[in-house]
Structure 1
Amino acid sequence: MNHFENTSILVPFDFSEDAQNAIETAISIAGDNDNITVLHVVDPSQLYGFDDNGGYELGGGLGTARYSTAQVRSINEQHQYAALEAMQDLFGDSLHQGIQFATIVDDPADGISKYASKHAIELIVIPSHGRTGVRPLVMGSVAEKVVRLAHCPVLVLRD
């Protein structure tokens, strides 16, 4: 008996090999691909020229770019569409038939957690990219933040 069979599963996807492996893990435990949603979160700090911690490092671009609301909306929509199309192309084979694909624009950990809550997700399957050193202590990883923020169980996959 599979405990997660017929459970709605969310798999955050950043186009990495680890994320692809997370999708395969979700397929193996879901029982039905229709129960799986693959979510790509478009990080707005990356879209607008900030570095990966929101632009607070020297030369990160904080305050150097000004965008109108219409420009921001257009940039967001373009990146969401491109990510959605890329995921559908990447997983267009019969093995991935039935999987749902979604994109949102948000901070990755917050976006994953909010999406899971809003869509009554019952399990999040996320890879741990296994960062080491001082940086994860200061920044924290997306997987660690999702574990803290999620309303449902989180399966963190290690290498």
Structure 2
Amino acid sequence: MLQIDRILAPTDFSSHSEGSVRFACELAERLGAELHLIHVLSDVVVPAGPDPMLISSMPPEYYREIEDQSRQTLDSLCAPDWPRPAQIVTEVRWGDPVDEINAYATEKGIDMIVVATHGRTGLAHVLLGSVAERIVREAPCPVLTIRDKKPS
């Protein structure tokens, strides 16, 4: 029988991911599982001139601030009126979202990932790709996708 002790809910802090995080909170509470919340930040590079090889990175203070803000947001992400798991673990990482989410799942022995999907189809899906789809294909554990019913 499948035992679910650790649930991972990645979030980009969008309204789309709010529904999946809330669902993960309720699922973790009902199963008595730990809830892991993760937010992955991407490095910001800015062209520093007409030559595309000249790329300037943001100052170190920017990275510290954005990481601190992300941690604060994660710490208050589960609203007080939502179901409350016994234990919530938060993590902020830098890099490719899919790679970091799947690496975290492997490192922490995550039993299930609950992720939002925008439900895009056609050209929008082809052009924008799908983080959720890549997570499903590459994850080390089962993935539950939650489609946002709100219009995008």
Q: Shorter chain as normaliser: what TM range?
A: 0.7 to 0.9
**In structure 2, do the counterparts of structure 1 residues 75 and 115 end up closer, same or farther at CA, with 3 Å as the change threshold?**
farther
**What pairs with 1:110-149 in structure 2 (closer than 5 Å)?**
110-149=99-138
Superposed CA offset, 1:23-71 (max 9, x none): 1211222236761011001122xx2248xxxxxxxxxx95342349xx5
Equivalent residue of 1:41, what SS?
strand
> Structure 2 length normalisation: TM-score?
0.76
* Deviation at residue 151 of structure 1 after TM alignment: 0.7
- RMSD over aligned Cα, in angstroms? 2.9
**In structure 2, do the counterparts of structure 1 residues 86 and 62 end up closer, same or farther at CA, with 3 Å as the change threshold?**
farther
The structure whose residues are more often helix, as a share, is 1
The structure whose residues are more often strand, as a share, is 2
CA contact (8 A) 1:34 1:99 kept: no
More off after superposition, 141-150 vs 75-84: 75-84
Superposed CA offset, 1:67-96 (max 9, x none): 49xx5x654333222101122234363744
**In structure 2, do the counterparts of structure 1 residues 17 and 34 end up closer, same or farther at CA, with 3 Å as the change threshold?**
same
Task: Structure 2 unaligned segments of length 5 or more: list them.
Answer: none
Structure scoring higher RCO (CA < 8 A, sep ≥ 6) equals 2
> Structure 1 length normalisation: TM-score?
0.73
* Deviation at residue 131 of structure 1 after TM alignment: 2.1
**Match of 1:65?**
55
**Match of 2:45?**
48
**Match of 1:55?**
none
